[in-house]
Structure 1
Amino acid sequence: MALTDILSDRLGFGAAPLGNMFRAIPEDEALATVEAAWDDGIRYFDNAPFYGAGLAEIRMGQALKDKPRDEYVISTKIGRIVLDTIDDGPRDNGEKGDVFAHGRRNTVINDYSADATLRSIEGSLKRLQTDRIDIVWVHDIAQDFYGDEWLAMFEQARTGAFPVLDRLRDEGVIKAWGLGVNRVEAVELLLDLDAPRPDGSLLAGRYTLLDHARALERLMPMVAARGLGIVVGGPYSSGALVGGPNFEYAPASPEILAKVAAIKAIADRHGVSMKAAGLQFSLANPAVVAVIPGASRPGRIAEDRAALDEQVPVAFWRALRDAGLVHPAAPLPGID
């Protein structure tokens, strides 16, 4: 099933902050944030066992348990199994470092096999308090995360997770599947395979105002040629685009901060909010079916909706292009 047939709204909810990403979020604040998203009309919620070792799924399950299940879409991810054992030692989370240092201390293991895929889905169903998952993403198969081991992980998924997800989709157990990654290489490799048959992918941080060249030049044409879709995660680049200190889960470099400042100077001259610039840039690519910014406070939901609806003058986009701050071939709103 095409992602455009599953996702009715181009704005979704990214649940990583519910796993205590970067800070310990009070329980009532986390639940109120999901409620604010629901009240806003958001009906697509993305999650993962990795987010706080199951904490984000538990909180979302609590917040949505009384909502009509047919009225919303849930995606979650496989590739990590959350165990009942407690791990108090340091965790090797690759480039994501200690972003979930405030999450649960349950042991999380990496496993992309067929059996682990089914066990992961079963665990997510329990934590989310639901009877079905609509979309399943295969999580974080990327060189920056696993180093030289990433191809071995991809091969395990190719022979394990991918066929299982193909079968579950064909049997109607799930509606769609693909990769959920923050690097384009794995998606390119998946799309080069004769089988299986993904429905799209979730790409975090790689089609944003701050970083989009490789995805634009290589991945988006492949996606469009196959009639698939991309969900853009992390449209604010870990917060750097909207004034936060982090880019790619770590303190932003001077080069990134300089690029943000240059974009903001143009945005200020044209009366454009940085959130509107970020969301509307990502959505301007026809291969993008939805954006899922994360939110850890209820008020952020209204900001995201306002950013999506904001009237951004075409002159702003032309100024970004003229300044070399976007790829010259990037689709821009209102510009052919």
Structure 2
Amino acid sequence: MSVRSSLLNGPHGFGAAPLGNMFRNIPQEEALATVDAAWEQGVRYFDTAPFYGAGLSELRIGEALAKRKRDEYVLSTKVGRIILDEVVKGPQEFGEKGTLFQHGRKNKVIYDYTESGTLKSIEDSLKRLQVDRIDFIWIHDIAQDFHGDGWITQFDAARTGAFKALARLQQEKVIKGWGLGVNRIEPIELTLGLDEATPNGMLVAGRYSLLDHESALQRLMPAAQAKKVDIVIGGPYSSGVLAGGTHFEYQKAPPEMLAKVAEIKAICERYKIPVKAAALQFALAHPASAAVIPGASHPSRIAEDVAALKVAIPADFWREMRKLDLVSPLAPLPIDQK
């Protein structure tokens, strides 16, 4: 079953990475209230991962959704990292993602893309999420933290392990589907080129946003369309810099990126539209996009996101964005659908 056909209430989902205490220590009450706000605003697709706060995000999603009927929402999580009972001292370093979740739980996180590791990860996630099934499973961050040819080794481990385990679970109808959940397009391209792989969805974070979409446009999106694989867009605000934050690609945004954001925001202000509206509607305008899952850690942010998707954006806004090369001339835009 495809991601698109599984969605229960439109393409707007909830990205739960912030609930793992990404960037800051979020009070439990605030985290749970954020999930409740998403539900009240009609959001019915929730995406999380063991990596987010060493299980903290899954625990919070599980607690918040425990009072909801399981058939009334779609749930996805990820495999590739196992959360151990062992507690470590000090922050854990995760390559390009650095100490992103230094405020999360202190449990040790290890990589495991094997078949047994995949099944173990799913079993642990079911317990943390307090559910009897998960709809979609994404293989998390292949190639993220491995440099040179090292990521190919990780990819091969997943190909002979996680790929096979998830394809079998899909065939047995234990899950609705699977794919990769990554910040790079290369492993998705490799996967889509495999004859034996049967993914029906991919989650790509940060690679199809107002600030970064050229490579995805030229390579990822056409390949996904050709294979009829749905794309879930994560990180539409590029780690928060498009939504008033200071991070891009999980790090402090460089001056040149802040300048680009300022230019986009100035145009948005001139047309009296929220920058969130431009970011979300841009992400969903591509025909390969099945859903967009902005992250949030405060209830008020949910209402902003929902409202942003309903904002009527003037065609002249998009024409100016194209004219100023702030979006690629190849990018499908909302005005192209009219």
TM-score class, shorter-chain normalisation, is: over 0.9
Q: Which runs of 5+ in 2 are unaligned?
A: none
Deviation at 1:147, TM superposition (A): 1.4
CA distance in 1, matches of 2:78, 2:243: 27
TM-score by length of 2: 0.98
Q: Match of 1:70, as an amino acid? A: D
Deviations 1:229-258 (A, max 9, x none): 100001000111122110000000111111
Deviations 1:24-67 (A, max 9, x none): 00000000000111111111000000000000000111111120
The residue correspondences of 1:90-109 to structure 2 (distance < 5 A) are 90-109=91-110
Deviation at 1:282, TM superposition (A): 0.4
Q: Which residue does 1:254 correspond to in 2?
A: 255
Task: Check the 8 A contact 1:13/1:44 in 2, yes or no.
Answer: yes
Secondary structure of the 1:331 match is coil
CA distance in 2, matches of 1:145, 1:243: 27
Q: Match of 2:180, as an amino acid? A: L
CA distance in 1, matches of 2:302, 2:294: 9
Deviation at 1:130, TM superposition (A): 0.2
Q: Which residue does 1:329 correspond to in 2?
A: 330
Q: Which residue does 1:42 correspond to in 2?
A: 43
Moved over 4 A (4+): none
Q: Which residue does 2:217 correspond to in 1?
A: 216
The residue correspondences of 1:47-196 to structure 2 (distance < 5 A) are 47-142=48-143, 144-148=144-148, 149-196=150-197
Deviation at 1:99, TM superposition (A): 1.2
Deviation at 1:335, TM superposition (A): 2.5
CA distance in 1, matches of 2:131, 2:95: 31
Secondary structure of the 1:335 match is helix
Task: Check the 8 A contact 2:91/2:102 in 1, yes or no.
Answer: no
Task: Check the 8 A contact 1:275/1:307 in 2, yes or no.
Answer: yes
Deviation at 1:90, TM superposition (A): 4.1
Task: Check the 8 A contact 2:135/2:176 in 1, yes or no.
Answer: yes
Q: Match of 1:293, as an amino acid? A: P
Q: Match of 2:5, as an amino acid? A: D
Deviations 1:128-156 (A, max 9, x none): 000001000000012x4221321100000
CA distance in 2, matches of 1:241, 1:301: 15
Task: Check the 8 A contact 1:232/1:288 in 2, yes or no.
Answer: yes
- How many pairs align? 335
* 2:295 is the counterpart of 1:291: no
CA distance in 1, matches of 2:336, 2:61: 39
Q: Match of 2:329, as an amino acid? A: P
Q: Which residue does 1:268 correspond to in 2?
A: 269
Q: Which residue does 1:24 correspond to in 2?
A: 25
Q: Which residue does 1:6 correspond to in 2?
A: 6
Secondary structure of the 2:145 match is helix
Secondary structure of the 1:303 match is helix
Cα RMSD over matched residues?
Answer: 0.9
TM-score by length of 1: 0.98
Task: Check the 8 A contact 1:314/1:335 in 2, yes or no.
Answer: no
Deviation at 1:181, TM superposition (A): 0.2
Secondary structure of the 2:336 match is coil
